[in-house]
Amino acid sequence: MLSIKESAGETLSMRAPALETSDIQATVLRPRPKPYCGEYVVLRIGNAEQGREMLRRVLPHIAPADEWWAPSALGWLGIAFTFEGLKALGVPQASLDSFPIEFRQGMAARAAILHDFGANAPANWEYPFGTPDVHVALAIYAKGNQDLQEVLEIARKSHHDLPQIAVVYRMAFGELPEGRNPFGFKDGLHNPHVEGSGPAATTREEPSIKPGEFVMGYPDERGETANVPIPLELRRNGTFVAIRKFYMDVAAFRKYLRAQASSPEEEELLAAKMVGRWRSGAPLVLTPDHDDPSLGGDANRNNNFRYADDKKGLKCPFSAHIRRVNPRDALKDDVVATNLHHFLRRGTNYGSPLPDGVLEDDGAERGGVFLLIGAHLQRQFEFVQSQWVTDGNFISHGTEQDPLIGNNDGEGVFTIPKVPVRRRLQGLPSFVSVRGGEYCFMPGLRALRWIADLKPMMEADDVRSR
Amino acid sequence: MTTQTPTRPESDQAVEKKIARVRELYATGPEVGKTALETLIRELKSGSSRREPATRMSSAGRVGSRQGKVSELLFIVPFAPGGAERLRALLELRNGDFSDTDRVGTVHDMRFVFLDNDTKLLFATAYDGEWDPYIGDFAATIPDGLDVLFSACEGWPGIRNPEVKDWIAKYQIPAVGWYVAHPDLTVRDIQRLKRIGKAAEEFLDKIQ
């Protein structure tokens, strides 16, 4: 499905250096398999040499982006490190010091910027999130449970005889029926197209984004190439990942819709207005009055739209989730440069679905874990979270937050533009709570080797010279 | 925008301590100030001014101060050679017209004051939220509007230069005291309220 627009653009624009897909981790550039299951595993490293031994063993199994779904592969393994993890592995101080401040501080320390207050405050996160015990995050994806178990076994064998490597967290995830999220929406439909990563999989009007926004070692949208962290061997083909684990209160969502609407059709409309898409994935901008499952299921059409014809938000509210986190052309008259605020979004769901029609909470944990990937945590994830998700000023909506993932406290509002009189929903609770999160560095494959081969007491001068 | 400033009532004891200190300091100053202070203390301790304000001053970004949603930024910086002359001519050309700043949508005011015989520029502005997260956006969307003004200053690195944040922080002086009539209203809030007010007046005109 090679897009005609894409190939035309390639010949006109300056050719970007081809991405070294064999050195970039698959998780960065490639969508999760369909269907999928998997597990996140968090390790704590008590001894640097044992940590590096674990890394040497697991390294041959880390999937690169070029062979991400080779028929022979059982599943695929991604690996990333927190700042504490890099320290624990013995990465030289000069390298550690060269990382951006937000990564060195970690997500929990950035709570004020991220609006992680109240129930979302790091004090309420699940262990080990937000503690110095999170060192290594492994993401394992597979097509089925048998393959998953085999990859898990590889991961286990990488450290089973290393007493200083502890498994501090394991979390299984898997696809829900019809590829929906727990709220019942098809999601994961949008990701920016990374220039040089191969042809866009689907037709889209949005321009490709320079690879340096997502992978270090290439020019970004500002024409700059990352020069930290040092040395080049460590940063080349690496990137950063903001991990967010969300609990989704499906019963609260359904109850709220029921209370606000006078018919099932109206419930569906209100839900779609909050999301910006109908349950099938069909965007409101293209079908404002009713769902269109064939549109929702058509990858060439369900993400091929802009807001130019909806400047008043009558089809898709300004405050709708997808219009906030990815405004496309909606803010083009403002000073904001939306091309500086993209990240790649890799979402997975966990927990069982709440059966259809159930309005009472069953107490089960369910939700999503999102890997938000980009080379600039501050102007990508942190900007989107602080300016677009947890505030409304950029769309002249005062302090109104994202209706779906905002940190609403029971007094949230959601504005739906309408003629002659807008509708405003009141008393929004939080439908989503943060269960935990971390900032991680996801190195390229050669960089993983560089870390694995570090010698104890490596002189910092070796690093500074490059 | 996101960091609200919760107002925390000060304990009576802490207030009394501050009063004692300010009395002591004013005692060494002119008599008019001393008398005026006693009036102010009486007012602070009684009546309407006893209630808690909506916001108290907090910090905005690395250096400035903030009241609710509004932040202040002030810097004093030497002019580059010929800079004062250039900027004066530019501001005369503009003749008070800064309508292009409307596009930013978060700037309440800006002032350019020439100090010490045109050797230094004092720039002061009140704006919404934080400028820090948007500096890259400014560089991408309105670089010339900023460079044409601040290239008059010594060492201005250019808005596209990542060091511009440090340059601003270096010359920035935070306000010790600052009054904002509506700390809960951003420029965009005000624009919205003006639209609603106008529509309400038109509606009332029609039905009277």
pLDDT tens digit string along A219-231? Answer: 999 999 999 999 9
Distance between CA atoms of residues A438 and A109, nearest Å: 10
Record: contact B136-A396, CB cut-off 8 A = no
Distance between CA atoms of residues A364 and A248, nearest Å: 10
Record: contact B3-A339, CB cut-off 8 A = no
A89 and A222 together in one domain: yes
A131 and A276 together in one domain: no
Give B-chain residues touching A387 at CB under 8 angstroms. 1, 129, 133
Record: contact B140-A393, CB cut-off 8 A = no
Res. A12 pLDDT band, cuts 50 70 90: very low
**Exposure of B99 by Cβ count < 10 A (0-12 exposed, 13-18 middle, 19+ buried)?**
exposed
Res. B177 pLDDT band, cuts 50 70 90: very high
Distance between CA atoms of residues A445 and A26, nearest Å: 10
Give residue A67's identity as a one-letter amino acid code: E
Which comes out higher in pLDDT, residue A145 or B45?
A: A145
Record: contact B106-A382, CB cut-off 8 A = no
Res. A435 pLDDT band, cuts 50 70 90: very high
Decide if pLDDT at A448 tops 70.
yes
Least confident of A83-87, A368-372, B44-48: B44-48
Give residue A335's identity as a one-letter amino acid code: V
Decide if pLDDT at A68 tops 70.
no
In which element (H, E) is residue B138 found? Answer: helix B135-141
Report pLDDT for A15. 53
Q: How far apart are the first and last CA of chain B?
A: 40
pLDDT tens digit string along A257-282? Answer: 999 999 999 999 999 999 999 999 99
Whether A462 is covered by a domain: the verdict is no
A286 and A303 together in one domain: yes
Whether A14 is covered by a domain: the verdict is no
Beta strands in B14-131 (DSSP E): 57-60, 64-67, 70-78, 107-115, 120-128
Interface test with A, best of B3, B106, B132, B137 (most A CBs within 10 A): B137
Whether A57 is covered by a domain: the verdict is yes
Pairing of strands A344-350, B70-78: unpaired
The residue length of chain A stands at: 466
B129 interface with A at CB cutoff 8 Å? yes
A69 and A82 together in one domain: yes
Res. B4 pLDDT band, cuts 50 70 90: very low
The contacts of residue A49 (CB under 8 Å, 6+ apart) are A90, A456
pLDDT tens digit string along A19-36? Answer: 999 999 999 998 887 888
Number of Cβ pairs < 8 A linking chain A and chain B: 64
Domain boundaries, position A410: 249-342+375-434
Report pLDDT for A229. 97
Average pLDDT, integer, range B52-68: 77
Decide if pLDDT at A360 tops 70.
yes
Whether A76 is covered by a domain: the verdict is yes
Q: How many CA atoms lie within 13 A of A199 on its CB side?
A: 12
Report pLDDT for A457. 64
Whether A217 is covered by a domain: the verdict is yes
Report pLDDT for A2. 34
A167 and A261 together in one domain: no
Distance between CA atoms of residues A249 and A268, nearest Å: 17
Average pLDDT, integer, range A360-364: 97
Phi-psi region of A271 (alpha: psi -120 to 50; beta: other; left: phi over 0): alpha
Report pLDDT for B38. 94
Distance between CA atoms of residues A42 and A86, nearest Å: 14
Interface test with B, best of A120, A213, A329, A336 (most B CBs within 10 A): A336
Distance between CA atoms of residues A245 and A134, nearest Å: 14
Least confident of A67-81, A341-355, A364-378, B3-17: B3-17
A284 and A413 together in one domain: yes
Q: How many CA atoms lie within 13 A of A175 on its CB side?
A: 17
What does pLDDT average to over chain A?
92
Count of domains forming chain A: 2
Least confident of A195-199, A262-266, B52-56, B86-90: B52-56
Average pLDDT, integer, range A289-309: 95
Q: Are the C-beta atoms of residues A426 and A399 closer than 8 Å to each other?
A: no
B200 interface with A at CB cutoff 8 Å? no
Give residue A178's identity as a one-letter amino acid code: E
Whether A171 is covered by a domain: the verdict is yes
Give residue B126's identity as a one-letter amino acid code: A
Report pLDDT for B196. 94
Whether A359 is covered by a domain: the verdict is no
* Locus of tokens 């897009």: A3
Average pLDDT, integer, range A134-162: 94
Rounded to a whole number of angstroms, the CA Rg of chain B reads 21
Share of chain A above pLDDT 70, in %: 93
Give B-chain residues touching A396 at CB under 8 angstroms. 188-189, 191-192
Res. B5 pLDDT band, cuts 50 70 90: very low
A128 and A266 together in one domain: no
Give the pair of three-digit tokens for residue A325. 């986190």
**Exposure of B13 by Cβ count < 10 A (0-12 exposed, 13-18 middle, 19+ buried)?**
exposed
Decide if pLDDT at A382 tops 70.
yes
What are the φ and ψ backbone dihedral angles of A451, each rounded to 5 degrees? -65, -45
A159 and A298 together in one domain: no
Give the pair of three-digit tokens for residue A76. 């695929």
Decide if pLDDT at A345 tops 80.
yes
A165 and A226 together in one domain: yes
Whether A15 is covered by a domain: the verdict is no
Contacting A residues, span 324-363, partner chain B, CB-CB under 8 Å: 333-337, 339-340
A25 and A154 together in one domain: yes
Res. B49 pLDDT band, cuts 50 70 90: low
Decide if pLDDT at A371 tops 60.
yes
| DSSP string for residues in A216-249 | TTS--TTS-----SSSHHHHTT-EEEEEEEEEE-
Give A-chain residues touching B203 at CB under 8 angstroms. none
Distance between CA atoms of residues B138 and B72, nearest Å: 18
Nearest chain A Cα to B141, which residue?
A335
Decide if pLDDT at A123 tops 50.
yes
pLDDT tens digit string along A301-312? Answer: 999 999 999 999
pLDDT tens digit string along A199-217? Answer: 776 767 788 999 999 999 9
Give the pair of three-digit tokens for residue B105. 């949508």
Report pLDDT for A13. 43
Give A-chain residues touching B188 at CB under 8 angstroms. 393, 396
A162 and A52 together in one domain: yes
| DSSP string for residues in A179-198 | GB-TTS-B-----PPBTTSS
Please give the distance of CA A260 from its chain centroid, rounded to a whole number. Answer: 31
Res. B51 pLDDT band, cuts 50 70 90: low
Task: Output the 3-class SS for A41-95.
Answer: EEEEECCHHHHHHHHHHHHHHECECCCCCCCCCCEEEEEEECHHHHHHCCCCHHH
Distance from CA of B102 to the nearest CA of A (A): 9
What does pLDDT average to over chain B?
89
A329 and A303 together in one domain: yes
Q: How many CA atoms lie within 13 A of B137 on its CB side?
A: 23
Q: Are the C-beta atoms of residues A284 and A277 closer than 8 Å to each other?
A: yes
Distance from CA of A116 to the nearest CA of B (A): 10
